[in-house]
Amino acid sequence: MDLLRTLYLIKEFLLSGIQKFPLIIGTTTLGLACATANVGYVLLFVSLALIVPLAVLFFNGLLTPVFTTVLDFLIKLLPGDFGPIDWTPKNSAAVCRAAGSVSGGAFPTYYMAILFFVFGFTFWNGLAIYKYESDQDDNDDKVKARKAHAVIGMIASLALLLIFFFVRIMSGCEHWLGIIFGMSFFGLAIGIFEFFRFCGLIRLVDLYGIGSRLLTTSATQDTAKVCFPVGDAPAPAKTKVQTVVTKKTLTDALGSFSGKT
C-alpha cells in the first residue's frame, strides 16, 4: 500500500508540475538569468514575460475573432446542415484556467504558446550549435563532443515537447484551433533566435553554454606584442641618472685640473 501511495503521489506531483508549466518555466528562467547573467536566459525570460503574452493577446484579440467569424460564415454556405462550430474547449475547469487558459476558451492559450516557444527555442539553439562551422585547426574530438551535446539537447527538447503536449491534449483544455495557432510560436522562437544569430551573437544567446567556449583561430594565435611610449611620455629613469653621473664626473675633473695648476 505504501508503494502504491508513493507512486500515486509521484504521479500527482508530475501532473501538477506539467499543469503549472508556464509559471515554473518562467520563474526558473528568471532565476537562471539572475544567477548566471547568461544573455540567452535573459532573452528567454524577456520573451516569456513580454513578447509571448503580447503575441497571445494579438491572436485572441484580433486574429482569432476574424478567423472564427470567417470560418463560421463559410460553413453556413456549405450544403447540408453542419451546424455552428463549438469554439469552447472540452474542459473549462479551473485547472485549465490556472495553467494558462481563459474562461470560455483561448486560441491559443498562454500555456500552448509558452510550450511551443520554449522548446522551439531550445531545439533551434541545439541545431544552430550543431551546424556551427568549425575551423580546420579545431580538434576533431572536441567538435564531435560539441555536436553530441547539441544532438542530446535537440532530442530532449522534442521529447519533452511531445510529453507536455500529449498530457495537455488529454486534459481537454485545448481546442484544435488553439493547437494550430500555438504551433506558430515554435516559428516565433526560431525567428528571434535567428535574428540574434544573424547579428553574430550566437555565443551570447546559447543556452547550452557551448557557444561561449568556441574560439576562432585568430583568438588562439600567440602573437608577439611590443610596447612603445606614446605621446609626451617621461624619459626613462636611467637617462636622468646618466645625466647626473656625467655632471659629477665633469665637476671632479675640473677640480682635479684646478688643483694641479
204 close to 196: Cβ distance less than 8 angstroms: yes
Higher pLDDT, 214 or 17: 17
Region 78-103: mean pLDDT is 59
Q: Look at residue 102 and tell me whether its pLDDT is greater than 50.
A: no
pLDDT one-digit tens code per residue, 10-68? 877 887 777 788 888 989 999 999 998 888 899 999 999 999 999 988 888 877 777 77
Q: Look at residue 91 and tell me whether its pLDDT is greater than 60.
A: no
Q: What's the whole-number average pLDDT of the chain?
A: 76
177 close to 68: Cβ distance less than 8 angstroms: yes
CB-based contacts of 249, cutoff 8 Å, min separation 6: none
pLDDT one-digit tens code per residue, 116-145? 999 999 999 999 888 887 665 667 788 888
Confidence grade of residue 95 (pLDDT, cut at 50, 70, 90): low
Q: What is the pLDDT of residue 198?
A: 83
Confidence grade of residue 255 (pLDDT, cut at 50, 70, 90): low
Measured from the Cβ of residue 94, the count of other Cβ atoms closer than 10 Å reads: 9
Q: Look at residue 251 and tell me whether its pLDDT is greater than 60.
A: no
The rounded percent of the chain whose pLDDT value lies above 90 is 21
Q: What is the pLDDT of residue 104?
A: 45
Q: What is the pLDDT of residue 68?
A: 74
Range among 65-74, 181-190, 197-206 rated most confident: 181-190
How far, rounded to the nearest angstrom, does the alpha carbon of residue 184 sit from its chain's CA centroid? 18
Q: Look at residue 226 and tell me whether its pLDDT is greater than 80.
A: no
Q: What is the pLDDT of residue 178?
A: 82
Q: Is 28 a member of any domain?
A: yes
Please report, in angstroms and rounded to a whole number, the separation of the first and last CA atoms in the chain: 123
| Residue 218: its H or E element | helix 217-220
Rounded to whole angstroms, the Cα distance separating 183 from 178 reads: 9
Q: What is the pLDDT of residue 103?
A: 41
Q: Is 140 exposed, middle or buried (0-12, 13-18, 19+ CB in 10 A)?
A: exposed
What DSSP string describes 87-122? Answer: -S-S--SHHHHHTT--TT--SS-HHHHHHHHHHHHH
pTM: 0.72
Q: Is 15 a member of any domain?
A: yes
Q: Is 227 a member of any domain?
A: no
| Helix/strand/coil for 201 | coil
Q: Is 141 exposed, middle or buried (0-12, 13-18, 19+ CB in 10 A)?
A: exposed
Region 210-222: mean pLDDT is 55
Q: Is 201 exposed, middle or buried (0-12, 13-18, 19+ CB in 10 A)?
A: middle
Higher pLDDT, 194 or 90: 194
Domain hosting residue 18, numbered range? 2-220
Three cell numbers written together for 122: 531550445
Q: Is 68 a member of any domain?
A: yes
Domains of the chain: total: 1
Confidence grade of residue 220 (pLDDT, cut at 50, 70, 90): very low
